[in-house]
Structure 1
């Protein structure tokens, strides 16, 4: 530690500089792990909640179509309310639910190994559940991206058909 007044090196436990008599203000710097942990769990929560958001999106689209009273198949003005979008999101929702159930089931299956190795059983339980959720998130992203691309291609082809009929 160094004196801020004269610059001389002083012992770490000193409160006064032995050279110039300057009173030293000691501030202890401690690394903050709380914000790192909070950020990690915030990120983990957002990843886990993505499949739930997909399910809510599907329900809201079906409600909106129900309020309209019709299924708008040929509309390119509202591409996310076409039959392709609704059917695709329903399939995505079913796949996500199946993946999450598979993750939980394989995690529970690890509990049968608890007699052999407690650490492996608990690690397998937690790993399978988290792995199943991350797999569901990845599949949600992959299929949603594929669905959006299909919708774009369908809308482009509908626009080309409309232009060729004019």
Structure 2
């Protein structure tokens, strides 16, 4: 089967168009697929989404001090009473307390949901066995979409101690 020059040119153009279409389609699939598990955000033109909520924009909490208590039993962990102030009473916060001694981390980072009482306190108990008294506690508080961390340096002894932050 011998093709004439005109038929060859038409065939070449058709093959070229098909290859271009395949390349464009493959590029679209690659670009629109997952980016190593991170979805690529879509952009909506003239989007008017209302991001307001029922929480006041300046509705925050502030941690001013923490009282730590250790009963001396290495199997009972630590109790921390966090003082946010009476103006924060009734608010619900997520709190993580991570204890250390000489750079060694005693417990995992776990958040607990706690209500601040009428006196402005929130009590957090960590029951992780600690073979030594901790010398540091890193406290992370989440509230109203905000997160802050404060560090308390502790005395390594039995009983109560209050740390101003």
**TM-score scaled by structure 2?**
0.22
Considering Cα pairs closer than 8 Å and 6+ residues apart, tell me whether 1 or 2 has the greater RCO: 2
**TM-score scaled by structure 1?**
0.22
The structure richer in helix per residue is 1
